[in-house]
Structure 1
Amino acid sequence: MEYGSVPSEREPRRWLWPVVLLGALVAVVLVAVESALQAPRRPAVEIPEGVPPAPGIPVPPIDVNGPGRTAAQLGDWAEPQSRQLGIPAIALEAYGHAAAVLGVTTPGCGLSWTTLAGIGNVESSHGRFGGATFAPDGTASPPIRGVPLDGTAGNAEIRDTDGGLLDGDPVLDRAVGPMQFIPETWKKWGVDANGDGIADPHNIDDAALSAGRYLCDRGGDLTTAAGWTNALMAYNRSTEYMMLVRDRAAAYGVGVRP
């Protein structure tokens, strides 16, 4: 056929075939996309269920009795994981440090840093709630304070126990710091872990080790399902809370963000 001529009815219209093929291809793609959307999504890394959650990458040996902020010895261990897990390096150092200290002082407990990280995630997004950041010594600023414990929204009513010293509230208590301690609980369990001589719930080193001490006391052997469950239920009497911590700790245990 010459350019510009009109095809006869007997002459095949070859230009229709690409359109037909393209239509068929689009239909196949749409079916594939619909099937993918309807199929159950599976994570790239399988996150195990059950308790206790996986312990994660082992914490290397450190001198827990050294001077100053001994958690800083874990910088090389924490830094690459920090980027991978989305946890500030200074918080990850604190979780690992608490596990290392308890491994020496309370060897029968078996608390992993992933459990502390799971709690830290749920309680304060690892000390980032409200735009807070950590100073080099591990202290969160601005201070992280919870809601007044006035008996509403599922909270217990707890009248002031610290004169507002820790939580800034002279009427009702509030949970404080990156691990959200109630002042009265902090008074019993709070310890100095960053070497400045002050037990401060707003400091992630102090808060992580204090949380670990509390969990070990309430759970006993946290390498068992019963021990881990008892410890978490003592920290917050909510099955939903416990499972949320479990899920996030389990993700950290296999090296992925929750």
Structure 2
Amino acid sequence: MNRYPVRPKRRSRWPGPLFALLAATVVVVLAYGACSRDQQPRIAIPEGIPPGPGAATPPIDINAPGRSADQLHEWSAGLADSIGVGSTALEAYGYAATVMAETKPECGIGWTTLAGIASVESRHGTHAGSTVGPTGAVTPEIRGIPLDGGPGVAEIPDTDGGAMDGDPVNDRAMGPLQFIPETWKRWGVDANGDGVADADNIDDAALTAARYLCERGGDLTAAEGWQSALMAYNLSGEYLTLVRDRASAYSVGVRP
């Protein structure tokens, strides 16, 4: 039985002014270092939205037993160092995008978008000294601050009794993609083949994020859809721009 059946499509509305501002900047900025005969021009980093899809993943069996993302090891090994992303994390992003390409092809989410989000949220699962293991497990667990309504912080009273995020008073964002418990309970999915949907596993978190973004944005190859998805993930224009900048760097094979 396949793990990933096709899911229904749903679009979200998008804030027009921000879209217009970003869409108007679809240009390529050529960044050059100090001039010398020995230096080469830096690779152009595209602006605008959506960011490019990046290096194409090879064909794989998304329902292969065990950690299906392992099939992308050669692909990730050839790219990880140049973009500054751990190989296991990169496999997770590539696998999630591949699953969506097969199960929800109208979405068109690129692994670069997932990498951009994970970079901002947790430095690809390495925030505060955490590491990503070969099965995608992130240890120690990454937890956000209590969502207690303090300055600049949303107030979300506990929804899980502390069972998922360790806080029985207020919810906290969890894992490398920083899901709150309520969202994870609805969207969480197992992607590494161990039978458990775990917010602290980068495979599971990446595929869950991809599913959520595709549902919220519809067509992520269009500026409107990509913006809609990102604003649903985090309602902040500054956040959207930061994710775009990092994803765009990954799309041309360089570090942000």
TM-score category by the smaller chain? 0.7 to 0.9
TM superposition shift of 1:218 = 0.2
The residue that corresponds to 2:73 in the other structure is: 75
The equivalent residue for 1:253 is 251
Shift of 1:43: 6.5
Equivalent positions of 1:227-238 (< 5 A) are 227-238=225-236
Q: Secondary structure at the match of 1:228?
A: helix
Unaligned runs of 5+ in 2: 1-33
In the superposition, the TM-score normalised over structure 2's length comes to: 0.84
Q: Where in structure 1 are there 5+ consecutive unaligned residues?
A: 1-35
Cα distance in structure 1, aligned partners of 2:229 and 2:134:
30
Q: Normalising to structure 1: TM-score of the pair?
A: 0.83
Give the whole-Å Cα distance in 2 for the aligned partners of 1:169 and 1:132: 19
Per-residue deviation, 1:191? 0.2
Which of 194, 217, 220 is matched with 1:219 structurally?
217
How many angstroms does 1:153 deviate by?
3.3
Shift of 1:112: 0.1
Partner of 2:52: 54
* Residues in 2 aligned to 1:76 and 1:105: alpha-carbon distance in whole angstroms: 24
3-state DSSP of counterpart to 1:114: helix
Alignment correspondent of 2:10:
none
Query: In 1, are the aligned partners of 2:96 and 2:203 still within 8 Å (CA)?
Result: yes
Partner of 1:150: 148
Residue 27 of structure 1 is matched in structure 2 by none
**Is residue 175 from structure 1 mapped to residue 173 from structure 2 by the alignment?**
yes
Q: CA deviation at 1:46?
A: 1.0
- The higher radius of gyration belongs to 1
CA deviations 1:23-46 (Å, max 9, x no partner) are xxxxxxxxxxxxx69xxxx97011
Aligned to 2:23: none
CA RMSD of the aligned region, Å? Answer: 1.3
User: d(CA) in 1 for partners of 2:65 and 2:94?
Assistant: 17
2:174–2:181: 8 Å Cα contact kept in structure 1? yes
Q: What does residue range 75-154 of structure 1 map to in structure 2 within 5 Å?
A: 75-154=73-152
Aligned partner of 2:7 in structure 1 is none
Task: Give 1:49 shift.
Answer: 0.6
Distance 1:120 1:112 in 2: 13
Runs of 4+ in 1 over 4 A off after TM superposition: none
How far off its partner does 1:166 sit? 1.4
Quick one: which amino acid aligns to residue 185 of structure 2?
K
Rate the CA distance shift 1:192–1:245 in 2: closer, same or farther, 3 A: same
Is 1:195–2:193 an aligned residue pair? yes
Distance 2:229 2:153 in 1: 19
Higher RCO (CA-CA < 8 Å; seq separation 6+): 2
Q: Is the 8 A contact 2:118 2:125 kept in 1?
A: yes
Which SS does the other structure have where 2:171 is aligned?
Answer: coil
